[in-house]
């Protein structure tokens, strides 16, 4: 069983709530993936990174990849990154830029720079947006051929992504394209390409909304996706999950 989460966004309490939920599955859990946006414009980002890097007793060490907020951190610190500062200000305001700068110091940003864009495991790609970039937002209303394009680019049967913050599973059941090519030498025979059924899975968001977190569990042996939504208390001493919606 894999636990796949994304979008903690520096919300330490939310992450601790998910960890508590995962501990109940610990014997079945073989891997934990965090598909980007581990940090965000929250002061606890630094403590959160320390917690993730230190690991949690009884749980597999989390594998973390780059997300939208990480790319912006790298840009702010002059460490590369493809963050678009104008998009950041437009979407979150200039104050957020300052908060992000204060929340993620240079040393942490240097660790973020070491993260991969995504992971390949078996026939699955796990990534924040898509291979197009961390900004690419796949969701249940994404046009069908855009999904096909992302799956072909990823060269994977299952694409797990977190950019939308939603939990969903899209199964492309069937698709076919007949194509004819004409060159200077004349027309070539018609060829058809069939699309083998593949999935795009949204893994939810842990930290954006205080008190609510979502993530998914995936069993590679049965190819089953389980959506997990949980609510938790946010006041002091109430950091444990209040209700788990299985």
The one segment of 4-12, 88-96, 188-196, 230-238 that binds other proteins by CB under 8 A: 188-196
Stretch 108-167 residues interacting with other proteins (CB under 8 A): 133, 140, 143-149, 152-153, 166-167
Cβ contacts of 131 within 8 Å, gap of 6 or more: 117, 118, 125, 150, 153, 154
Decide whether 10 or 227 has the Cβ nearer to other proteins.
227
User: Cα separation of 12 and 26, whole Å?
Assistant: 20
Q: Does 206 bind other proteins (CB under 8 A)?
A: no
The one segment of 1-9, 16-24, 83-91, 181-189 that binds other proteins by CB under 8 A: 181-189
The one segment of 19-27, 92-100, 116-124, 178-186 that binds other proteins by CB under 8 A: 178-186
- Beta-sheet pairing, 212-219 with 2-5: antiparallel
Q: Quick one: which of 215, 159, 219 has its CA closest to 17?
A: 215
Rule CB under 8 A: choose which of 82, 91, 98, 110 binds other proteins.
Answer: 82
User: Cα separation of 202 and 122, whole Å?
Assistant: 18
Provide the sign of the torsion angle of the four alpha carbons 78, 105, 212, 55, taken in this order: positive
**Least CB distance from residue 165 to other proteins, whole Å?**
13
Decide whether 16 or 131 has the Cβ nearer to other proteins.
131
Q: Does 85 bind other proteins (CB under 8 A)?
A: no
- Per-residue tokens: 122: 């078996």
**Are residues 33 and 2 in contact, defined by beta-carbon separation less than 8 angstroms?**
yes
- Which residues sit at the interface with other proteins, rule CB under 8 A? 82, 133, 140, 143-149, 152-153, 166-184, 191, 193, 195, 225, 227, 229, 245
């Amino acid at each position: 069983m894999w636990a796949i989460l994304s979008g903690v966004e520096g919300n330490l309490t939310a992450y601790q709530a998910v960890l508590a939920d995962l501990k109940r599955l610990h014997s079945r859990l073989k891997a934990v993936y965090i598909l980007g946006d581990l940090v965000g414009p929250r002061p606890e980002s630094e403590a959160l990174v320390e917690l993730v890097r230190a690991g949690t007793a009884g749980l597999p060490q989390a594998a973390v990849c780059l997300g939208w907020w990480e790319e912006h951190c790298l840009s702010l610190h002059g460490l590369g990154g493809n963050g678009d500062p104008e998009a950041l200000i437009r979407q979150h305001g200039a104050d957020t830029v300052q908060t992000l700068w204060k929340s993620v110091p240079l040393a942490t940003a240097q660790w973020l720079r070491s993260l991969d864009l995504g992971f390949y495991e078996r026939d699955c790609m796990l990534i924040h947006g898509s291979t197009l970039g961390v900004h690419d937002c796949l969701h249940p209303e994404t046009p069908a051929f855009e999904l096909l394009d992302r799956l072909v680019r990823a060269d994977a049967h299952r694409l797990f992504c977190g950019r939308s913050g939603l939990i969903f599973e899209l199964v492309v059941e069937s698709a076919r394209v007949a194509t004819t090519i004409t060159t200077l030498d004349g027309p070539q025979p018609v060829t058809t390409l069939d699309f083998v059924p593949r999935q795009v899975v949204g893994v939810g968001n842990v930290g954006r909304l205080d008190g609510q977190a979502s993530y998914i569990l995936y069993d590679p042996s049965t190819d089953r996706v389980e959506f997990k939504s949980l609510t938790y208390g946010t006041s002091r001493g109430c950091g444990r999950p209040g209700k788990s919606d299985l």
